Amino acid sequence: MTRFCWAVAAVAVGTAALAEDKKLEYPKTKKGDVVDTYHGQKVEDPYRWLEDDVRKSKEVADWVAEQNKVTEAYLATIPEREAIKKRITDLYDFEKFTAPSKIGGRYFYSRNSGLQNQYVLYVQETLDAEPRKLLDPNEWSKDGTVALSGFAVSDDGKYAAYGKSESGSDWQTWGVLDVTTGKPLSDELKWVKFSGAAWTPDGKGFFYSRFPEPTGEAKFQALNENQTLYYHRVGTPQADDVLVYRRPDHPRWTVGAEVSEDGRYLVISVGDGTTSRKVRVVYKDLFEPLAAPVDLIDNHDAKYDFLGNDGPVFYFRTEADAPKGKVIAVDTRKPAKADWKNLVPEAKEKLESAGLVGGLFVCSYLRDATTAVKMYTPDGAFVREVQFPGLGSAGGFGGKKTDTETFYTFTSFNRAGEIYRYDMITGTSKLFRQPKVKFSPDEYEVKQVFYTSKDGTRVPMFISHKKGLKLDGTNPTLLYGYGGFDISLTPSFSVSRLQWMEMGGVFAVANLRGGGEYGDEWHRAGTKGKKQNVFDDFIAAGEYLVKEKYTAPKKLAIQGGSNGGLLVGAVITQKPELFGAALPAVGVMDMLRFQKFTAGRFWTDDYGSSDNKDEFDALVKYSPYHNLKTGTNYPPTLVTTADTDDRVVPGHSFKFTAKIQECQAGPAPVLARIETKAGHGAGKPTAKVIEETADQWGFLVKNLGFKPTLPK
């Protein structure tokens, strides 16, 4: 994710520079004659062949190589690119830590010495003890493309289950580590995806979810169905794992589990296969070996996050009858909804998450997209609010009911992630670790503004830049957005965004509808037939930045990834003249076929599906691939994706790239940067992140006519 800002004097320079460029010669892309009929309407799909797996199809692989060749040649002509790369490398080179987790009397955390491709996992017997290296993913591959994708420690701290992911894939292989010796055991669990590990209190094994082994060439593209919950005993082969729960009658339902802190209950969350926000809850008494799973909440009406229990009384964070969230108690002996108790009632702010730590409910709220954390007793009495050092985001606060301490991070656009140790008894925070980034936070300012969208909705936006900025309409500006899946964009630190601001750019983040900033109603206002609200909100954010003279259209770049890539693709088809450049990353670009691949079916609750006529009518109106029009002047566009993206398969970006190159009327470049041995983003090595950022910033510098401030 990244952002920028621009202005008036530079507008003429940028336009003149583009006018001198000849229109690029793109690779010749074969067109097919595929035509689909949706509810009586014929829809052409001439680039369907680009959906084929790039790892299996020589034709697609050759097309990718040709696209990368053109893009690399273009980027090589940008004189500032190497200086940008050198500076961002220097900025990345600082010691980074995650907040410690205390399990079994030991402290576990991850550290990156600076430019390591992957974080290294460490353990300490006490906070004052010498750290001991436990897992170093940098030793798993020469290029850093094998990442640690999951980690769970047994209650006694003796064993740790850990997941590995290769080349950014969602597929994971899990193993087991002896924490005392640091040596891996023989355990190997394959075909795991969208799962953690939940240990039994005796430390002899854990529960996890897996899918059937894919057949043929389906590993990276086929729909993931029939997720099943198993129990694995340490030291035994996966073939001996015990089947715990499955729903063959509903192959698209998902299954996840956790064990209650007292070790008595296995709590199973069963998703409906279209979203992670609606679950049924099933539980099993682990003290009764022959006990069958019991349905506690037997419909997919809302999300229920299990927080803990007091014997047979279970605590949940839920949005059932509370669009902004609340904490409830459900007595398993009297499970009827009429007997549920509200402990922490719905507030005016969204309850983003909650936990049960140190005998208190730790409730994290969003107050206009910034964090507020409040604590309550188990019966719902307010205790205190945590005091933070400024406008930003806080996360962490993990632990058990008996813990007297916890840790959290605090970050903002101009503030790297500080780690605090929090005393649950006194309510005091103490700075535990502070990163030493090579910049001065006092040179930058962060503010929040509110602007009006097309239909009159009030939308918040964060704007960050160097102090002393002149509002003369000449600032290169990067506007970032997402707007979907109940995901909230809150202030956070990013080295790449810092560099953008250091170079002289403005960075803006718009909190669009479809996100989770104001609860379920805000989210639903940007889904299915209302998805256009998201695009209207983003367009209005750009218009605000121009109106308030932060920038001008030729100086305004936009960026988004995944659902945000869809956002960028949609708005440049609807309002191409508003933007000076676009960076859509791993985007969902074909809204008529997304549900046919890998995890796409999980998105239908947000998007709808072309299988439904009313939803098709909405989707076809904004689907980026289908709304590109021949003879249009599209802004300079750099599409980014990766060959191992099995979340949003790269065929989306391939088809969009081919179509926009066909349709582009003006000289502005429309290019694709297709990474190898990388996926949707998680686990990407530092080296690849630096390379990609340097290419994106170089592309913007050239196409926004931007003279960046760079160290000598």
Annotated catalytic sites, by residue? Answer: 562, 680
Q: Are 10 and 476 in contact (CB under 8 A)?
A: yes
- CB 423, CB 439: distance < 8 Å: no
DSSP character at residue 554? G
Contact assessment for residue 608 and residue 619, using Cβ atoms and an 8 Å cutoff = yes
User: Are 695 and 81 spatial neighbours (Cβ–Cβ below 8 Å)?
Assistant: yes
H helices present in 452-594, as ranges: 495-502, 520-524, 532-547, 563-574
Question: Considering only CA atoms, which of 461, 536, 568 is closest in space to residue 506?
Answer: 461
**Token pair belonging to 219:** 């590993």
Residues 262/266/271/273 CA torsion (nearest 10 deg)? 130
Number of alpha carbons in the 13 Å side-chain half-sphere of residue 393: 20
What sign does the dihedral 62-67-71-74 (CA atoms) show?
positive
The strand order across the sheet containing 382-385 reads 350-357, 360-367, 370-376, 382-385
Distance of CA 661 to the CA centre of its chain: 28
Contact 376, 354 (CB under 8 A): no
Q: At 184, list the tokens.
A: 């891996």
Q: Which of 311, 341, 313 is nearest to 328 (CA)?
A: 341
Name beta bridge partners: 150.
163
| Residue 438: CB atoms within 10 Å | 13
As a residue count, the chain comes to 712
